[in-house]
């Protein structure tokens, strides 16, 4: 480990990402990742079984694919890096042909009545079918890996040795057919998820008529998007008017009307008209790239169930082999069972005990849940968060911009000292330098009524939870809440912004913010689920109370600074609650990061909130939280169904095999058949 650290030079590491062909074993994916991470020339390796992708950093400069394939082949001999699937298709075709030839040879024994011919055919069938499995098993043993290839090899060769020739051959055929069906089921699951996430634009039309890759387009370039085409990059419309389908990003089926000077996001589909768009972000920074990156990286953050299954699989196979040996040795001494019979039952035990159904179905279930939610416009940054949200028993909401629209309107202004012109001038001078929703509302209201002041200010400061301060003509001006200007008189309902100059309060404006229509429905549904709901806000307690009462929230806290929110949330979590926090502002970032599950809003949310949150609601529809909860519960239900079904079937067949009531044929079903059924059951997540 020391040598690896010593050799690493971050400045020369090359980032690589490839598809892995033939990766049909989740346990092998974990082993490949672990093995490469322990290699001195590979760093930050991530192998995603659900998407069949591998990413890593390396200091190798040439023959990278060949070097990685050498390592992979020792763990999963049939897996390799490739940019297309032609070899995978040909490999599957070869396996199908091998099975057809083996079946034809076995059938021929029914028409040729010759013992020597029968024996030669059986040997040939074993050679055709066993050699591949045996070769893989030996290769994996050399890398200290034991998996189903080893178990099947021992079982079938053992069956031949004890004289069960035909049954051993049929087990091999059924196993091979099962593996092909298993691969088809896995690929179908992966393709279903891929189609859900098929939002990447293939090309961009430059204004000069050239068709290029979106990665080649630079900031400031002008692109043309025709009707029916995807918007390849984020930008601003220079010419044109159209309707955009943004469902792949937001999950919202309603078309969005756009025209000149409006911003558009990559991944949207132009339904009609011709748009000329000035690009404002490179492809890597575009919305579609961020969405795809978040979804692809989601499986790298594993849920506790996945981690447990991964650890269990490392000790599972050796334990199974030990139990099979015990079955072979102990049974003859417990009853009237011959050694041949006890060995046969032990060999069946080995086939049944393969953990594929459990190891494969769990990660596929989580990734199917994440893929389903991404199609609905909900980005979950890891299966651990999909797992965590099902255990949440309390939701805490920020108020402004989360439960309310965040679009403030000024209802009145009150002058306490001086004249209105001075009051408005000082107010605009400060707010024109802020991006806070209240500041934007004030500017929108007053700048239509008088000229924008361009006078420079100095020592401008934003004070989180209070407001702003600045100096002009040697005067200290404060614009913010009552605490900032030390105004202690009873306030009326509404949000108030005060202006003071050298500690003399000139007056204040009163603003109101409307509660979102979806907020009441969401809070009601959360209560019906038996979940607790709380409200945190920086606004005064009276405003907090009014909003809370309107929404049926019994617990609320007002006049909270970012640090107050953090401490209160910490207190709730330390009391044993599983808490989800929903917010959108910069000041919500620390609380979003601390919550068991942080949920941010993708459209109105700040970059800091989106980056630190665990789940992003792309279209700001609060009711999507219900969708996320339903998907999390359903995914958990499918995982439990798969695990329970696999364990019950395996335990029953294991018991029957030890007692002599089942054969190797049932053993193959308990292995490959159960795996296929659990994978097909997992596909229900994508369609529920």
Looking at the annotation, which residues are catalytic?
Answer: 398
Report residue 397: phi and psi, to 5°.
-115, 140
CA 130 to centroid of chain Cα atoms: 39
The Cα-based distances of 507 to 66, 410, 434, 678 in angstroms read 73, 14, 20, 68
CA atoms of 336 and 339, how far apart (whole Å): 10
Name every residue whose Cβ is closer than 8 Å to that of residue 655 and which is 6 or more positions away in sequence: none
The DSSP call for residue 614 is S
Give percent helix, percent strand, percent coil of the chain, each to the nearest 5.
55, 20, 30
DSSP letter at 399 equals I
Non-local (6+) Cβ contacts of 318 within 8 A are 146
Residues in CB range of 611: below 8 A, 6 or more apart:
589
Query: What CA dihedral angle connects 434, 438, 441 and 445, to 10 degrees?
Result: -90
- Using CA atoms, how far apart are residues 334 and 337, in angstroms rounded to an integer? 8
CB neighbour list of residue 559: distance below 8 Å, 6 or more residues apart: 483, 538, 539, 540, 541
**Whole-number Cα distances in Å, 541 to 271, 492, 498, 554:** 47, 11, 17, 13
C-alpha 155/C-alpha 149 separation (Å) is 10
Helix axes 356-375, 304-334, angle to 10 degrees: 160
Q: State the SS3 of 149-186.
A: HHHHHHHHHHHHHCCCHHHHHHHHHHHHHHHHHHHHHH
Taking the C-alpha atoms of residue 616 and residue 287, their distance in angstroms, rounded to an integer, is: 13
Rg (alpha carbons) of the chain, rounded to whole number: 32
Other C-beta atoms lying within 10 Å of the C-beta of residue 488: 8
Cβ neighbors of 89 (< 8 A, separation 6 or more) are none
Nearest residue to 128 via CA among 107, 98, 149: 98
Distance CA 305, CA 294 (A): 21
∠ CA 559-560-564, rounded to 5°: 150
Largest CA distance in the chain: 117
Distance CA 271, CA 172 (A): 54
d(CA 132, CA 129): 6
Contact 230, 265 (CB under 8 A): no
How many helices and strands in the chain, by DSSP H and E?
A: 24, 26
């Amino acid at each position: 480990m020391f040598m690896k650290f010593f050799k690493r030079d971050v400045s020369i590491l090359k980032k690589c990402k490839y598809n892995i062909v033939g990766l049909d074993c989740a346990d092998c994916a974990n082993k490949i990742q672990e093995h490469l991470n322990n290699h001195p020339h590979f760093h930050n390796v991530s192998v995603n079984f659900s998407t069949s992708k591998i990413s890593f950093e390396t200091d190798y400069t040439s023959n990278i694919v060949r070097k990685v394939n050498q390592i992979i082949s020792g763990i999963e001999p049939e897996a390799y890096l490739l940019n297309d699937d032609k070899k995978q298709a040909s490999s599957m075709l070869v396996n199908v042909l091998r099975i057809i030839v083996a079946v034809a040879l076995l059938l021929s024994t029914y028409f040729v009545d010759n013992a020597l011919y029968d024996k030669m055919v059986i040997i040939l069938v074993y050679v055709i079918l066993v050699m591949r499995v045996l070769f893989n098993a030996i290769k994996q043993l050399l890398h200290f890996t034991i998996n189903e290839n080893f178990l099947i090899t021992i079982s079938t060769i053992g069956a031949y040795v004890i004289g069960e020739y035909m049954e051993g051959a049929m087990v091999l055929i059924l196993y091979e057919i099962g593996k092909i069906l298993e691969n088809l089921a896995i690929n179908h699951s992966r393709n279903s998820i891929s189609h859900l996430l098929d939002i990447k634009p293939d090309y961009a039309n430059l204004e000069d008529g050239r068709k290029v890759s979106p990665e080649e387009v630079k900031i400031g370039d002008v692109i043309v998007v025709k009707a029916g085409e995807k918007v390849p990059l984020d930008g601003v419309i220079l010419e044109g008017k159209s309707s955009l389908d943004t469902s792949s990003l937001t999950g919202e089926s309603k078309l969005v009307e756009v025209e000149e000077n409006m911003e558009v996001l990559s991944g949207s589909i132009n339904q009609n008209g011709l748009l000329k768009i000035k690009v404002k972000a490179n492809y890597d920074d575009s919305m579609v790239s961020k969405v795809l990156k978040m979804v692809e990286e989601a499986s790298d953050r594993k849920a506790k169930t996945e981690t447990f299954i991964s650890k269990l699989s490392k000790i599972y196979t050796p334990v199974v082999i030990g139990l099979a040996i015990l079955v072979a040795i102990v049974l003859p001494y417990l009853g009237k069972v011959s050694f041949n019979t006890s060995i046969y039952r032990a060999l069946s035990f080995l086939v049944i005990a393969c953990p594929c159904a459990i190891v494969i179905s769990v990660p596929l279930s989580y990734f199917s849940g994440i893929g389903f939610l991404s199609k609905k416009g909900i980005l979950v940054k890891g299966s651990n968060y999909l797992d965590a949200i099902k255990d949440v028993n309390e939701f805490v909401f920020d108020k402004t911009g989360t439960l309310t629209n965040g679009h403030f309107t000024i209802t009145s202004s009150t002058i306490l000292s001086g004249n209105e012109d001075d009051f408005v001038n000082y107010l605009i001078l400060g707010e024109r330098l802020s991006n806070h929703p209240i500041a934007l509302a004030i500017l929108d209201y007053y700048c239509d009524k008088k000229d924008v002041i361009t006078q420079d200010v100095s020592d401008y400061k934003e004070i989180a939870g209070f407001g702003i301060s600045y100096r002009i003509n040697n005067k200290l001006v404060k614009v913010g809440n009552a605490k900032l200007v030390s105004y202690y008189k009873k306030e009326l309902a509404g949000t108030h912004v005060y202006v003071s100059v050298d500690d003399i309060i000139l007056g204040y404006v009163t603003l109101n913010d409307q509660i979102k229509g979806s907020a009441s429905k969401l809070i009601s549904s959360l209560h019906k689920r038996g979940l607790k709901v709380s409200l945190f806000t920086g606004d005064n307690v009276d405003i907090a109370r009014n909003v809370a009462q309107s929404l049926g929230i019994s617990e609320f806290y007002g006049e909270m600074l970012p640090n107050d929110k953090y401490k209160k949330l910490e207190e709730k979590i330390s009391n044993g609650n599983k808490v989800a926090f929903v917010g959108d502002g910069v000041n919500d970032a620390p609380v979003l990061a601390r919550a068991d599950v942080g949920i941010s809003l993708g459209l109105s949310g700040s970059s800091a909130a989106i980056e630190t949150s665990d789940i992003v609601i792309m279209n700001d529809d609060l009711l999507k939280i219900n969708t996320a909860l339903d998907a999390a519960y359903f995914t958990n239900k499918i995982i439990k169904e798969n695990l329970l079904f696999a364990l019950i079937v395996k335990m029953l067949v294991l018991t029957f095999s030890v007692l002599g009531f089942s054969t190797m044929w049932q053993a193959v079903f308990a292995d490959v058949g159960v795996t296929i059924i659990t994978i097909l059951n997992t596909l229900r997540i994508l369609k529920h």
